[in-house]
Structure 1
């Protein structure tokens, strides 16, 4: 049985699954009729100890589906599979993650939200879950409960290292921002 987290809670993955080598991190949601036209983007920012990505190849999103160390890979949702229509899955191979990377933050944004007057009020039942990629066993899940009526971006959660162990924190923080705001926040001049 997967551990259910509430907003802000932390979960020690390394203690719960000490032999874990590969994980699947799934982010999903349902959209209302008004949200059917939204183009929703999921991004993973792989951050160093300074809170910045070391180079732009550590931003894994629709335009770069794999990190340069081959540790994080974003799958393309199968539009013909209704269960995958509103879900993005990342595969993470823990032993390949560059030791310089201390955190992987998962952010969901609505493409051109201001232009189309969109927000997360039309996106419901959002979740992020982590499973053992080899066995399919779900380890931890966070179901976002907030009603994001003004927000155009949400940080779902973050995977991070502490004392040599991998941990997960449920975040659920909404922003009135787009993908570019996160790029500006997490990219240093050296990473471009």
Structure 2
């Protein structure tokens, strides 16, 4: 049975799972009340961050246009253009043993593609979640259901994996942004997205 988190809660990933090496980060969502003539295309991304909370370079931004970090530590498993069906809509694989020493945190985000042009926001999205799975055993360790706290936001920092005391912890962030992917990139020190 996975640990179910609320916004702001933190949990240790490796203390109770010392053999944890390969993590599958699954992100999912459903589209609700919307009849604007455009399909919804949500995109998961990962930002590898240094101690200053910024990406050291554009290679540290993992998304549908840059699927794999040069270290092999983080890999996006591909863009789902519709989000239809049950389960994970997009997945990101993390190899904890390959994360460069200079990286202190990995932020997992979801944005709405062309949200402004399509007049879409996270108030029109239901059942958003992130889950952390031990990819070697298939065991779901953590699940964070975001709830319906968003109305005008077009980007969300869903959660973070971060270094702590020689191991790794997870933080259920659930923080919304207006301005989509560009706002997230600016927040994490990338000038153009």
Same fold (TM over 0.5): yes
The equivalent residue for 1:184 is: 186
Higher alpha-carbon deviation: 72-81 or 101-110: 72-81
- Equivalent of residue 146 in structure 2, options 144, 158, 169: 144
CA shift, 1:165, in A, is 1.1
Q: 1:153 aligns with which of 152, 155, 160?
A: 155
Provide structure 2 residue ranges, at least 5 long, that are not aligned to the other structure. Answer: none
Q: Tell me which residue corresponds to 1:23.
A: 23
Aligned length: 191
Q: 1:122 to 1:78 in 2, by over 3 A?
A: closer
Q: TM-score, normalised by structure 1?
A: 0.91
Q: CA deviation at 1:79?
A: 6.9
What CA deviation, in whole Å up to 9, does each residue of 1:37-96 have, x standing for no partner? Answer: 122111100000011111111100010000111100011256799546861111111100
Q: Which consecutive aligned stretches of 4+ in structure 1 deviate over 4 angstroms post-superposition?
A: 77-82
1:66 maps to which of 55, 65, 68: 68
C-alpha change, 1:46 and 1:80, in structure 2 (3 Å) is closer
Distance 1:116 1:14, change over 3 A: same
TM-score (norm 2): 0.91
Matches within 5 A, 1:81-100: 83=85, 87-100=89-102
Partner residue of 2:113? 111
State the alpha-carbon separation in 2 of the partners of residues 181 and 66 from structure 1: 22
More helix as a share of residues: 1
Q: Partners of 1:167 and 1:175 in 2: how far apart?
A: 23
- Who is 1:127 aligned against? 129
2:40 is aligned to: 38
- Structure 1 residues without counterparts, runs of 5 or longer: none
Partners of 1:61 and 1:74 within 8 A in 2: yes
Counterpart for residue 6 of structure 2 = 6
Please state whether the residue corresponding to 2:179 is helix, strand or coil. coil
Task: Assess, with a 3 A threshold, how the Cα gap between structure 1 residues 63 and 80 changes in structure 2: closer, same or farther.
Answer: closer
In the aligned structure 2, how far is the partner of 1:151 from the partner of 1:80? 19
- Secondary structure of the residue aligned to 1:95 is helix
Q: In angstroms, what is the RMSD of aligned CA positions?
A: 2.4
1:113–1:119: 8 Å Cα contact kept in structure 2?
Answer: yes
Name the CA distance, whole Å, in 2 between partners of 1:136 and 1:109.
27
Indicate the SS of the match to 1:145: coil
Shift of 1:188: 5.7
Tell me the distance in 2 between the aligned counterparts of 1:34 and 1:67. 35
CA contact (8 A) 1:103 1:160 kept: yes
